[in-house]
Each structure stands twice: as C-alpha cells, then as structure tokens.
Amino acid sequence: MRWPFAAFFVFLFLAPQSAIAGSGELMRHVRAIVAPETQGRLAGTKGANRAADYIESQMKAIGLEPAGDDGFEIETELVNAVEFDTSLTIGTHVAAPDVEFGVSGFSDDVDVEGVPVFVGYGLSDSAWDDYQGADVRGRIVIAMTGCPEGQEERLSSKHLLSSQSKAAVALSKGAKAMILVNDPRAHGDSDTQRADELPRTVPAFPLEGIGVVRLTAKAFATGFAADLAKLQTEVDGGKWQHLAVKTKVALEIDVDRDDVDTASIAGMVRGSSDKPPIVFGAHFDGLGEAAIPGYQGADDNASGVAVMLAVARRVANQKGRLKRTVIFVALTGEELGYVGARRAARFIDETYGRGVFINLDMAGRLDDDGLRAFGLESWTANKAATSAASGSGMALDAHPLYASGSDHIAFAEAGFGSIGFSTGIHPGYHSADDRIEKLNWKQMAKIEVFLGRLIRDLAD
C-alpha cells in the first residue's frame, strides 16, 4: 500500500498542533483543581470548596445552564471525619486497633459481650442463606467478607457482598455487633485485597443500631484458635453448621463524627425533546493533604473533571441543536462512599428523569490495555459506545460494572443505565505519587474526543 502523501503531511503539520491546543485546556483545568490552595480536596473542606468554585466558574464561562437545586449546586450533606475509641477482646487476646482490627466508618456505638455466632459469609438471599436456623438476636455475629465459591453469579445483586449490606442484614436479624473477618482466599472486597490488610476507614453516616469491625484473618486465628481457611472450605461446600464458638468476645465502640454541608456542581445544555437526560459525571473530591502529605489526586480525579469540562465546552457549542439534554456533574464525596453521586442521582431522577449515566474516574494514565469500560457489555448504549470508540481510535477494555468502585455504581443502583470509564489503578493511586507531572495529556485529549463524540451521538 502507498502512503496517501497529502493526508500524511496534513497529519504531520496539524495533528501535533491541535493536540497541543487540546492539552492546553486540559492542563489549565488540572492545574487549577490540584492547586496548593485546594489542599487535596477532602470533601467538605475549604480546599474542596475552592475547587468547586473553579468548576462552577468554568461551567458558567462555557455557557452551561445551572442544573442544581441551588444554582449549579446539588447540596449534599456528608460525614467527612470519624474517630473511634474502641477495644476488642477475643478470649484472653486483646486485639490491637488499626493492626488486627479496624472499626467500619458506618459503625454505630456499641458495648457488648458474649459468645458470638459464626454466620459464614453473612449473606441472606434466596440463592444462599447463612442465617438459616440461627438466632442472632442481641448477639455478636462473625462473618467472612466475600462470597462462597461459585455463588457470585447466583446472588440477586453483587451489592450484597459489601460490608454495609452484610451489616444491614445482621442488623435486620437482630444482631448487636458484627465482626467481619477477611476472607482467607482474599477475594473479599477486591481482587487485590490481602487477607491481613485492613481497608481504609471511609467516614459515613451510621448504620444505626449495630457496631461493626473488620478483623484480619491472622487475628481471627490467634483469638479463636480456629483454622479459618478450613472453615471456609466447609462453608463453601455447604457442609457446615453454625459454628459453636466457645470463645467469649467483648467489643466496645465509641464513635465521634463530623458532619458537613457540601455540594456537587451541575450544569447542562438543554435538548429540544423531553427524553431523559444524558448525565456525564466525574468526582472532584480527593483524600486530602492532611491524610496524605504531598497528595494532589491529579489522576484521581482532577484528570476526569478536566476532560468533562472540555467535553462540556464542545457540547455547549452544539446548543440549540441537541435533542436530549446533557447534564455535566462534578461529584462530591466519591471517596466517602459515593455520597455525592447517591444524592445527585436522586435529584436528577426527580427533576430531569432517569437517563443514561457516564462516569469518568481517572483519565490520565492510559496504558496499552485501553480505556477500562466498567459495565460496557450490559450498558443500554453499548452500541453507541463501541462505534464512538472505533470512530475515534479509542481501544476499550470491557469489565463488569462492579469490577471497579466509583460513582457509576451509585447511579446504577438508582436505576440509571450506567457505565464507568477509567484509565485504571496504578502504583501511585491514592498516594503522594498521584501528581500532575505523571499525566499523559495526549491520551487525555483522545479520551476527550471519544467521550465528546459519544455524548453528541447519544444526544442527537
């Protein structure tokens, strides 16, 4: 094949320049969002509010209409700090807080003592019921994180595997406290979680009436002198009875929470039809410099917000020509358990209707596998995504919806046809290494082109 010379030279002279122009806009947004005065953007802090002000000013400048319940703001109340006074004694073993056990961010106060009941994985579903025949009223229950082997596809929802859901089930059965012990096969919260790793505490409103702690598999073995891996095999095989635990447990939790008012920032371009809107979301909150010195959260998720704003500008240029309304929302409180997304999903549903949701969480470190697309295969607009990707030369890497935790989960649970895009987790994730110097501007510009095209196709 011969090179089409004319096209080749046009590419040589124009492509780098347009890439630079695109990158300039993205760079300007990311710089403003990770600026020192935003202090790592822990939701509800002054720093995060400064980033929100910047985003709102940009939405105004682009010509978006306000789409919040107070101008551009979708007001959201959240818990941004939580502290515990706690003690856990198993038999004679006094467990070490933050090493052997940690209190869950949604735990309530509790002071309880007694012989606990082991309830397998703590599930109670039509496909699998760990509580059958167990009376846990007023008791402490112990359950493993994760899922019985081979049962994942049979459960009515993967959400049942979350700590909150398991604790809510225990509460509904009358338990006073729950000890969640790390699944020894470590397929618990995520594929990467190790059996002796405690999850980060995510501050949240309390699940009232139950105290919840996470225990490492090793601390379980020390305290109960039992082989959890063996027990797990028995549970998976269905050949087990509620373990007669003979070891007494004493658990005390005293929680101190800090509530704040915050907001997601939403702007829109109105369409001519009354079809439900297309919603593009990217969270702007981070983990805060106070928690991680030197932290910027440039990839997670200043990069996603920058791409969203750039796409918003392109879509705003089509004003008056779109059939469907497109809402752009910079979400708060993702790092605190999708709190902003849950509130925004409800508000958008009630005000504009339940449409399609596209999430972008991390856009700055694309590797050879392509752009991760969580929930692509089951997505209502699957065909549009595939064709926009091939039209813009964007390789998509399809994964199940729940394979990644971000705001797309909250919108899916609220009934939106939801998809999550991401360039994926890397060693610098949630660390001081997540910095602006590490972002790949060229690839971000490419993601911007892809998503701009997808949204225009959907709105047409």
Quick check: 446 and 310 in contact, CB under 8 A? no
Least gap, CB of 176 to Zn ion (angstroms): 34
Tokens, residue 206: 């309390």
For 362: left if phi > 0, alpha if psi spans -120 to 50, otherwise beta; the answer is left
Give helix 46-62 / helix 5-33 axis angle, nearest 10°: 140
Query: What distance in Å separates the CA atoms of residue 13 and residue 18, rounded to the nearest whole number?
Result: 9
Nearest CB to Zn ion, comparing residues 108 and 335? 335
Which helix (DSSP H) or strand (DSSP E) does residue 87 occupy? Answer: strand 73-90
> Cα separation of 299 and 366, whole Å?
10
Rounded to an integer, what distance in angstroms lies between the CA atom of residue 379 and that of residue 419? 7
Shortest separation between residue 360's beta carbon and Zn ion, angstroms = 10
Q: Binding marks (x or -) toward Zn ion, 312..331, rule CB under 5 A?
A: --------------------
Task: Give the full edge-to-edge strand order of the sheet including 101-103.
Answer: 101-103, 211-215, 177-181, 140-144, 117-118
Footprint on residues 46-65 left by Zn ion (CB under 5 A): none
Residue 289 interacts with Zn ion (CB under 5 A)? no
Q: Choose which of 108, 130, 361, 407 interacts with Zn ion (CB under 5 A).
A: 361
CB of 440 to Zn ion, least distance (A): 17
Q: Is 301 in the site for Zn ion (CB under 5 A)?
A: yes
The piece of 91-99, 227-235, 357-365, 385-393 that touches Zn ion (CB under 5 A) is 357-365
Buried b (16+ CB within 10 A) or exposed e, 22-48: bbebbbebbebbbbeebbbbbbbbebb
Q: How far is the CB of 335 from Zn ion (least distance, A)?
A: 7
Nearest to 163 by CA among 106, 229, 242: 106
Q: Nearer Cβ to Zn ion, position 212 or 265?
A: 265
Q: Which is nearer to Zn ion, 73 or 361 (CB)?
A: 361
DSSP letters of 313-352?
HHHHTTTTS-SS-EEEEEES-STTTSHHHHHHHHHHHHHH
The Cα–Cα gap between 269 and 246 comes to 63
C-beta of 47 vs 184, nearer to Zn ion: 47
Least CB distance to Zn ion at residue 21 (A): 27
Nearer to Zn ion, 45 or 301 (CB): 301
Distance in Å, CB of 283 to Zn ion, minimum: 6
Q: Closest CB to Zn ion among 177 and 358?
A: 358
Report residue 279 as tokens.
């919603």
290 DSSP assignment: T
Half-sphere exposure of 89 (CA within 13 A, CB side): 9
Tell the smallest beta-carbon distance from residue 340 to Zn ion (Å): 12
Least distance CB 363 / Zn ion (angstroms): 10
Binding span for Zn ion by CB under 5 A among 137-145, 294-302, 371-379, 426-434: 294-302
Give dist(CA 419, CA 253) in Å, integer.
38
Q: Looking at 57-65, 152-160, 174-182, 353-361, which segment touches Zn ion (CB under 5 A)? A: 353-361
5 conformational bin, left if phi > 0, alpha if psi -120 to 50, beta if neither: alpha
Nearer to Zn ion, 86 or 423 (CB): 423
Closest CA to 247 of 179, 330, 201, 159: 179
Which CB, 64 or 298, lies closer to Zn ion?
A: 298
Judged by CB under 5 A, the stretch of 145-153, 307-315, 356-364, 386-394 that binds Zn ion is 356-364
The residue among 120 and 286 lying less far from Zn ion, judged by its C-beta, is 286
Is 359 one of the binding residues for Zn ion (CB under 5 A)? no
Minimum distance of Zn ion from residue 200's CB (angstroms): 13
Shortest distance, CB of residue 8 to Zn ion, whole angstroms? Answer: 39
Q: Which amino acid is at 299?
A: D
Please identify, among the stretches 1-9, 15-23, 203-211, 358-366, the one whose residues bind Zn ion according to the rule CB under 5 A.
358-366
Cβ nearer to Zn ion, comparing 183 with 361: 361
CB of 18 to Zn ion, least distance (A): 28
Whose Cβ is closer to Zn ion: residue 301's or residue 418's? 301
Q: For Zn ion, how many residues bind (rule: CB under 5 A)?
A: 3
Q: Are 60 and 67 in contact (CB under 8 A)?
A: no
Shortest gap between Cβ of 135 and Zn ion (angstroms)?
Answer: 42
Among the residues of 156-285, which ranges form H helices? 163-172, 217-224, 228-236
One of 300, 407, 434, 448 touching Zn ion (CB under 5 A): 300
Burial environment of residue 370 by CB neighbours within 10 A (0 to 12, 13 to 18, 19 or more): middle
Q: Which stretch binds Zn ion (CB under 5 A): 165-173, 219-227, 299-307, 350-358?
A: 299-307
User: Which residues contact Zn ion (rule: CB under 5 A)?
Assistant: 300-301, 361
